[in-house]
Structure 1
Amino acid sequence: MTSFSGTGFEVKYYIDKVLLSKQTAYQQLDIITNKNFGRMMFLDKDLQISERDAHHYNNAMVTPLIERQNAFSSVAILGGGDGGVLRETLRHKPEKAYLIEIDEEVILAAKEYMPGVCGKAFDSRKASIVLGDANEFLEQKHDFDAIIYDLTMHPESITDMERMDFLKQIFSRIRKSLKSGGMVSMQCCSEFDMETQTLLKKLLPRYFRHIVYKTVFIPSFCENWVFASAEVR
């Protein structure tokens, strides 16, 4: 199985067994087992999460919110259909956690094949699963304590909008969907994806303040990944 990187290289993973391979209404979905990383989920041949090191990614998405806000009662997770970020969020006992995922097949696959990542998160009474487009969800009126952006920073394959226009629109809607002093956390791609890093450092200050970047090595990604947290302006 090959996972393509936006930073000039590709990573090949040995497949012990293919557990699932199907074309959904939105993307190619594959789940394999690997000797070193356990079960691994790929979307359009791009690695999303692995059982053995999912905690590195999920902690990096959620922990900054706890460190900066101590607690939150309502949180929205944009994307994250594998359930890992939702599971980590629920550990901190919010009153309600919303997960907005456009592809139900990803959720169903995670529940069946990757319980090591999602656990029972999807069945929690504190979790509300919204099937739909995250950008459209944010058009509605919300008042969240925190929003976690677990979507791609390369939306070219999922929208006809220009990348800059897409990010401007969704960042603006995230800002409007947060309470005063609300927090946002997001994944920002590889540290070697310099185009994305430069773009985000230009865009994020327009919508958020007190921006903190953190770099975490994700073993299954074979590279350092950048995460950001910030407060709404």
Structure 2
Amino acid sequence: MGQFDEEGLRWLGFLGVYSGRKVEGERGGNIGLQTFESGEGSTETRVSDQIRGGEEEISTVWTGGGGRQSGRMAVVGNTLELEVDYFSTQGASVRKLEKEFGNKLGNERSNAYPAVTRGSCIYKYFPTADERLLEYDIDKVVYEQRSQFQKILIVHSRSLGNLLLLDDLQNLSESDLIYTETLMQRGKENYRGKEIVILGGGDGALLHELLKEEPKYVVMIEIDELVMKAAAKYLRSCCGDVLDTLKGDNYEIVVDDCVNVLNTYIQQGKSFDYIFGDLTDIPISSNPQGETWDFIRSILSLSMEVLKPEGKYMTHGNGASCPDSLKMFERQLTSLKVPVEFSKCKAFVPSFMEDWVFYQIWKKN
């Protein structure tokens, strides 16, 4: 594959709805497909309109100029879908293209999608919890490594600051204090003099904010030391200096699997006032089966065993756009050996670009 410049390969598309014209065909779905291509430097793209069985041609003047264009056209119901690929350093106006085709088709309404960049060395596209595509104003890659556990990526966004992604999922940005404050229910929970465990939390943000609340002692258990090293250098506005050392006056960081450490605490008879599950998101799945669900159930069960009678387990769930998965998680809470009650809340997290749901869980009296 050839090399692309920063503009990369762009994709354009729009939808046009025919005005009073019905597409005829023997079956539903895509009943026609036409492809087209114009050569380098061409200023006119002609698309043969034989989808409706007619002989007329739809043609448009391509005003972007200087590039090579190709694409496809398909009809679904009464809707014409046109996709255009082009490579041009001068760019092209999708809005003008939409208008020109719309006028020729006599469509009642149409919609132009923003161009999508392909072949760029800068990551710009990441999903919402329910798999909708988001484009970020990312202008550079700050850090990229793969640990033995996951892919670690830190990019810079012009609006969010540095953004940490783990296995290509948004984790935390420099603009996400609301995530941490909602997870810890700042202003609603009293952490002064309390003993606390953080499961995960490798970006250091939760530990940094909890220490401001004057707890007695905080233990953070993180399996991936490389995440902490990256966060200590590139997310300093989130974590301060807490990741510079593994032990402070009233906290320590244990580099280990949290399941192992929780089992050790159970054997030692230790208990804590608060346990934070800052680990994986609730899976998006049709049923609560699989490795991730088993891990979540294990963490919940172990945490209840080391939680003091009046203690709380605090965790995040998933996007509010995934109610079925959230309900599935809540059903898991009712099946724990230790009866529990819970409350939940949500907050809009800037780097997620959506509302995120958080849970507070405690033993039932």
**TM-score, normalized by length of structure 2?**
0.59
| Percent of aligned positions that are identical | 28
Task: Identify the structure with the greater helix proportion.
Answer: 1
The one-letter code sitting in structure 1 at the alignment partner of 2:184 is V
Distance 1:31 1:89 in 2: 24
* In 1: Cα distance, 2:298 partner to 2:233 partner: 34
Q: Is the deviation greater in 86-95 or in 189-198?
A: 189-198
> Is the CA contact 2:283–2:325 (under 8 Å) kept in the aligned structure 1?
no
1:193 aligns with 2:322: yes
1:60 aligns with 2:191: no
What SS is found at the alignment partner of 1:16?
Answer: strand
Deviations 1:21-72 (A, max 9, x none): 11111111111111100111111111100102x21000011126x6245645
Q: Give 1:164 deviation, angstroms.
A: 3.3
Residues 185 and 228 in structure 1, CA contact (< 8 A), matched pair in contact too: yes
Q: Which consecutive unaligned segments of at least 5 residues does structure 2 have?
A: 1-122
SS in structure 1 opposite 2:238? helix
For 2:264, what is the secondary structure of its paired residue?
coil
Letter in 2 for 1:74: E
Cα drift, residue 218 of structure 1: 0.8
Q: Report the Cα distance in structure 2 between the residues aligned to 1:162 and 1:25, rounded to whole angstroms.
A: 18
| Secondary structure at 2:263 match in 1 | coil
Instruction: Provide the residue aligned with 1:105 in structure 2.
Output: 226
User: 2:292 corresponds to which residue?
Assistant: 163
Matched with 2:236 is: 115
Counterparts of 1:110 and 1:208 in 2: how far apart (Å)? Answer: 37
Q: Give structure 1 stretches of 5+ with no counterpart.
A: none
Check whether the contact 2:282–2:326 (CA below 8 A) recurs between aligned residues: no
Alpha carbons of structure 1 residues 214 and 90: separation in structure 2 relative to 1, 3 Å: same
RMSD: 2.1
For residue 151 of structure 1, what is the aligned residue in structure 2? 279
Within 1, Cα distance between the matches of 2:290 and 2:340? 26
CA-CA distance at 1:195 after TM superposition: 3.2
2:323 partner amino acid = M
Tell me the residue number matched to 2:358: 227
Instruction: Assess, with a 3 A threshold, how the Cα gap between structure 1 residues 17 and 208 changes in structure 2: closer, same or farther.
Output: farther
**What is the CA distance between 1:194 and its match in structure 2?**
2.4
Higher relative contact order (CA 8 A, sep 6+): 1
Larger Rg: 2
Report 1:13-52 matches (<5 A): 13-52=136-175
2:224 matched to 1:95? no
Equivalent residues of 2:191, 2:214 under 8 A apart: no
* 2:305 maps to 1:181: no
How many pairs are equivalent? 228
Deviation at 1:18, TM superposition (A): 1.4
Query: How far apart are the structure 2 equivalents of 1:21 and 1:163?
Result: 25
Query: Structure 1 residue 181: deviation in Å?
Result: 1.1
In 1: Cα distance, 2:222 partner to 2:156 partner: 24
How far apart in 1 are the matches of 2:219 and 2:183? 15
Aligned 1:64-83 pairs, distance under 5 A: 67-69=188-190, 71-83=192-204
Aligned mate of 1:126, from 240, 250, 253: 250
Task: Specify the code of the residue in structure 2 equivalent to 1:18.
Answer: V
Partner amino acid for 2:215? Answer: P
